Amino acid sequence: IIGDKNAHATATADMAFAMRAAVKLVRAPHNGEALSIRIGIHSGSAMTGVLGTIMPKFCFFGDTVNTASRMESSGMAGEIQVSGPTAALLTKKGYTLKSRGVVQIKGKKDMETFWLIKHPENRRPVIKEALKMAKVDLAKLRALLRDVETSECSDHEPQAASRSPENGFGATTGRRSSASADHRRNK
Average confidence (pLDDT) per 10 residues, the chain, 187 residues: 74 89 83 89 91 90 91 93 95 94 89 93 77 66 61 40 35 43 50
Backbone angle region of 156, left / alpha / beta, with phi > 0 → left and psi within -120 to 50 → alpha = left
Of 120, 112, 37, 115, the closest CA to residue 78 belongs to 37
pLDDT at 140: 67
pLDDT at 87: 96
pLDDT at 114: 97
Could you give phi then psi for residue 151, rounded to 5 degrees? Answer: -80, 155
Q: Is the dihedral of CA 99, 102, 105, 109 positive or negative?
A: positive
Model-level pTM greater than 0.75? no
pLDDT at 121: 81
pLDDT at 166: 37
